[in-house]
Amino acid sequence: MSYDYRSKKEEELYVNYVMNPRIWIEKITLYRQGICDYFTQEQKDSFRENPLLVKKWIESNIRQYLDYEYSNLNTAPLSVLKTKGGNKISHKILFVAILRSLGMPSKIEKSDGKLAFYSEHQWHYIYDEKEVEFKAYGQLKLTREKKEPFGILQKLYSIPFGEGHYETLNFDEMPWENDQIVYTLEVGHYRVVTTNRQHNESNKVRVSYCEVNGDVITTIPLILSESDNKKAKVPIKKNYTLMTSQDKKIDLFEKKLSSRTIICWIEPGAEPTEHLLNEMMALQDVYEKLPWHVLLFIQDKEGYKDPTLIKACECIPSLQVFVEQSFELGDVYQGFKREEQRLPLAIVTEGQEGTYSFSGYQVGIGQLLIQSIND
């Protein structure tokens, strides 16, 4: 079993690429003993001697189905051996599962999906044409000053005549530590793309180019382009009458509001409102720590019974829900120059003036509201 080979491997390799049960995004199953029992001792010895024989055995004995599995739902290694069939990813998962069961570090490279095994102190990569190639690697460090910047890492792949194209690399949200993250990458040319989402749904893009070499750590700071968002000054003319769940009436401007407030007119049960509430719940820690009020207005008391609204209020106890029967919002839409009068309508206010607005559902509206009230 794999444990017998621990003394021969570096600790990090042993933990991450031998004992780690997670190979790709497959459901984790117990496969090691079953794989070791499946093959003869002669086969296992030959696989350890030449891991390429594992790939050759799979190609000769396991059928590959192109359309019988979803891309993110793959057959478990022992089931592939039993049924002698699986999709392309299932083939790759089986390759890694066999080698890990035999104590050999192996992986599916997250950035490009290639198979790799570790031997003679280096990673060997297997290509479709069945060649094995050693790649030189270096390190790229990304740094940030605060948590907001989001970057996309892309590698330049060369093609004949000196041209090339960039492909986005996938690293499954590797964790940040001390506002920095270090990637081990193949030597080559890369670019890092950061985007700053604007309130009008456009994105301000910043691109940084770099070269990763094997002998130094390349450092790129993630910097967002400056925002073009401008605060409006839209008077909230109507003093909306609100009703609590206990039928107590209060006027909006008589309520002791914080200096800044998020107000959302919502339709419980409607899909756009569901998306807004789900995004708020995804950011529950941020919303709960806001020093300002977040008010949700519904048009009748039936809205209190909506399961998603109930869940949102349980998730974020600071949310305040009121019945506002009029939903007379024409002046608000007009003030913010919004031609389409869609719900939910979410605004950020300072005093009795609206500064930002969002009408209908926009992807990321939960985060945009946070950015707006903190602006």
312 and 261 fall within a common domain:
yes
Backbone angles phi, psi at 201, to 5 degrees: 75, 5
Question: What mean pLDDT do residues 341-365 have?
Answer: 87
150 and 108 fall within a common domain:
no
As a whole number of angstroms, the distance between CA 48 and CA 231 comes to 65
User: Per residue, what are the HEC states of the chain?
Assistant: CHHHHHHHCCHHHHHHHHHCCCCCCCCCCCCHHHHHHHCCHHHHHHHHHCCHHHHHHHHHHCEECCCCCCCCCCCCHHHHHHHCEECHHHHHHHHHHHHHHCCCCEEECCCCCCEEEEECCEEEEECCCCCEEECCEEEEEEECCCCCCCEEEEEEEECHHHCEEEEECCCCCCCCECCEEEEEEECEEEEEEEEEECCCCCEEEEEEEEEECCCCEEEEECCCCCCCCCCCCEECCCCCEEECCCCCEEEHHHCCCCCEEEEEECCCCCHHHHHHHHHHHHCHHHHHHCCCEEEEEECCHHHHHCHHHHHHHHHCCCCEEEECCCCCCHHHHHHCCCCCCCCCEEEEEECCEEEEEEECCCCCHHHHHHHHHHC
Q: Is residue 124 part of a domain?
A: yes
Buried b (16+ CB within 10 A) or exposed e, 128-139: eeeeeeebebbe
Backbone angles phi, psi at 171, to 5 degrees: -125, 15
Q: Which amino acid is at 41?
A: Q
Q: Judge whether residue 170 has pLDDT over 70.
A: no
Q: How many domains does the chain have?
A: 3
Q: Is residue 268 part of a domain?
A: yes
Question: What mean pLDDT do residues 76-82 have?
Answer: 91
172 and 99 fall within a common domain:
no
- Are residues 206 and 192 in contact, defined by beta-carbon separation less than 8 angstroms? no
As a whole number of angstroms, the distance between CA 327 and CA 127 comes to 61
Residue 44's CB is within 10 A of a number of other CB atoms, namely 17
150 and 110 fall within a common domain:
no
Q: What is the CATH classification number for the domain harbouring 288? A: 3.40.30.10
pLDDT score for 309 = 94
45 and 72 fall within a common domain:
yes
Tens-digit pLDDT profile for residues 206-260 = 888 888 887 788 888 887 777 667 788 888 878 888 888 888 888 887 776 668 8
Q: Out of 165, 194, 221, pick the residue that ends a domain.
A: 221
206 and 329 fall within a common domain:
no
Domain region containing 217: 137-221
Q: Average the pLDDT over each of 55-59, 96-100, 191-195 and give the range with the smallest value.
A: 191-195
163 and 123 fall within a common domain:
no
Q: What is the CATH classification number for the domain harbouring 30? A: 3.10.620.30
169 and 116 fall within a common domain:
no
- Find how far residue 7's CA is from the centre of its chain: 36
Backbone angles phi, psi at 57, to 5 degrees: -65, -45
Q: Out of 133, 161, 179, pick the residue that ends a domain.
A: 133
Question: What mean pLDDT do residues 277-305 have?
Answer: 91
As a whole number of angstroms, the distance between CA 197 and CA 154 comes to 20
pTM: 0.52
Q: Judge whether residue 134 has pLDDT over 60.
A: no
Q: Is residue 229 part of a domain?
A: no
Q: Out of 133, 158, 180, pick the residue that ends a domain.
A: 133
pLDDT score for 24 = 83
Owner of token pair 């207005």: 297
As a whole number of angstroms, the distance between CA 19 and CA 35 comes to 14
Tens-digit pLDDT profile for residues 141-150 = 888 776 555 5
57 and 161 fall within a common domain:
no
Q: Is residue 226 part of a domain?
A: no
Q: Is residue 46 part of a domain?
A: yes
As a whole number of angstroms, the distance between CA 245 and CA 253 comes to 19
The per-residue pLDDT of the chain, averaged, comes to: 82
Residue 200's CB is within 10 A of a number of other CB atoms, namely 9
User: Over pLDDT 70: what percentage of the chain?
Assistant: 82
pLDDT score for 153 = 60
Q: Judge whether residue 93 has pLDDT over 90.
A: yes
Q: Is residue 338 part of a domain?
A: yes
Strands 293-298 vs 260-265: parallel, antiparallel or unpaired: parallel
Q: Judge whether residue 117 has pLDDT over 60.
A: yes
Q: Is residue 295 part of a domain?
A: yes
Token couple for 40:
């003869």
Which among 307, 312, 296 has a CA at the least distance from the CA of 244?
296
Tens-digit pLDDT profile for residues 150-169 = 556 655 554 444 456 777 77
- Are residues 156 and 189 in contact, defined by beta-carbon separation less than 8 angstroms? yes
Beta bridge partners of 242: 250
212 and 273 fall within a common domain:
no
- Are residues 287 and 317 in contact, defined by beta-carbon separation less than 8 angstroms? no
238 and 364 fall within a common domain:
yes
Q: Is residue 227 part of a domain?
A: no
62 and 150 fall within a common domain:
no
Split at pLDDT 50, 70, 90, the class of 323 is very high
Q: Judge whether residue 295 has pLDDT over 60.
A: yes
Which tops the pLDDT comparison, 198 or 90? Answer: 90
